[in-house]
Amino acid sequence: MMPIVRAAAWLVAHAGRLIVAGVFLSAGVLKSFDPEGFAVEVSQYGIIGGWAAQVAAYALIPIEIALGVALLLNWRPRVTLAAAAGLLLFFMGAIVFALATGQNLEGCGCFGRAMPRTPQQTLLEDGLLVALAGLAWGVLGRGAAEARGRWKTALVAGTVAASAAFALASPHLPIDDAVTELKPGVSWDDLDVALAEVDLSEGTHLVALLGMKDERSAQALPQLNRLAEEGEPLVGLYGEEESAYNEFLWTRAPAFPLYNVSPSDMRRLHRRLPRFFAVTGGRVAATWDSPPSPESVRAAVGGSREAS
């Protein structure tokens, strides 16, 4: 009977190791597509902010990916399982701190923008993962010496370097259409953005996603004002509080209307600000990372403007 029990425990432990590995690997990879967004998620916990949150975000991404790869390879399981459990406990502690201090957590940021989780869901899931990691640590730890290998060490080290390099390059890569919900062809109604002041599902609109405190958005404003003055049906969307809007309005003097949407809705539409898109007949026709020319807008919407 004992061999059967040991075999069952071994199978469950390996399954737990692979589950924890998959969670860490997927979480790190998804965050690497939007490290600046992850830094915003880090700062919302109220523990660190600013440059410290940026450093933490860019450091955590390769750590999570490397832990996922190491666990998949069963490389030094006693060390990697303990590290995974420790990191999960740290995340749980950060959530408890944020809830106890009244921080406005819109999501845990565990999987970037791809899989939103409430703090309560995250605490439950992380607790289960800690239990799985603990079980695997207890059962598989004795095989740690057999799980080492130079090729595994090299692969884990290479994973750290490659994932860190990708995270640093990611904000500058033209991948917004692939990693955000806003992309050509999507229906505006399907995006489910709460916007009461203007109906973007009717007619043709050029839309600018702006940050009221974002310097790149401010630098784009002169070109946007020229587009509006030349007759482009331009509107701006922002996600900050009213005081930031008022300051932007009086100091920057936009020549087009600005409408507020919730920060969570804004985050689903961009990685970096500003971002621009044309919507015609209720469907996104094109997206741009810099203010488009009138010719680009006309090419994107085709004959829709005349038809409307």
The model's pLDDT over 198-228, given as tens digits with 9 standing for 90+, comes to: 889 888 999 999 999 999 999 999 999 999 9
d(CA 32, CA 30): 5
d(CA 153, CA 205): 53
Instruction: Give the pLDDT score at 142.
Output: 59
* Residue 146 clears pLDDT 80, i.e. is over it: no
Q: pLDDT band at residue 64, thresholds of 50, 70 and 90? A: very high
* Residue 10 clears pLDDT 90, i.e. is over it: no
**Average pLDDT, stretch 225-247?**
92
Burial label, 157 (beta-carbon count in 10 A; 0-12, 13-18, 19+): exposed
27 neighbors 76 (Cβ within 8 angstroms): no
Instruction: Give the pLDDT score at 117.
Output: 76
| Helical pair 242-252 and 215-229, crossing angle rounded to 10 deg | 60
* Residue 55 clears pLDDT 80, i.e. is over it: yes
230 neighbors 256 (Cβ within 8 angstroms): no
Instruction: Give the pLDDT score at 23.
Output: 95
Instruction: Give the pLDDT score at 2.
Output: 62
Domains of the chain from N-terminus onward? 2-171 (no CATH), 179-307 (3.40.30.10)
**Average pLDDT, stretch 164-178?**
92
Could you tell me which residue, 111 or 21, shows the higher pLDDT? 21
**Average pLDDT, stretch 222-249?**
92
- Cα 155 to Cα 20, 73, 131, 133, 160, distances in angstroms: 19, 9, 27, 22, 9
Q: pLDDT band at residue 145, thresholds of 50, 70 and 90? A: very low
**Average pLDDT, stretch 183-211?**
91
d(CA 178, CA 78): 37
User: For the chain, what percentages of helix, strand and coil (3-state, to nearest 5) are there?
Assistant: 60, 10, 30
- Output the average pLDDT for the chain: 88
Q: Which amino acid is at 113?
A: R
Q: pLDDT band at residue 307, thresholds of 50, 70 and 90? A: very low
Partner residues linked to 276 by β-bridges: 208, 288
Q: Which amino acid is at 36?
A: E
3-state class (DSSP) for residue 113: coil
- Cα 296 to Cα 109, 291, 292, 302, distances in angstroms: 35, 10, 6, 10
* Residue 108 clears pLDDT 80, i.e. is over it: no
Beta-strand pair 204-209/275-280: antiparallel
Could you tell me which residue, 40 or 236, shows the higher pLDDT? 236
Instruction: Give the pLDDT score at 60.
Output: 96
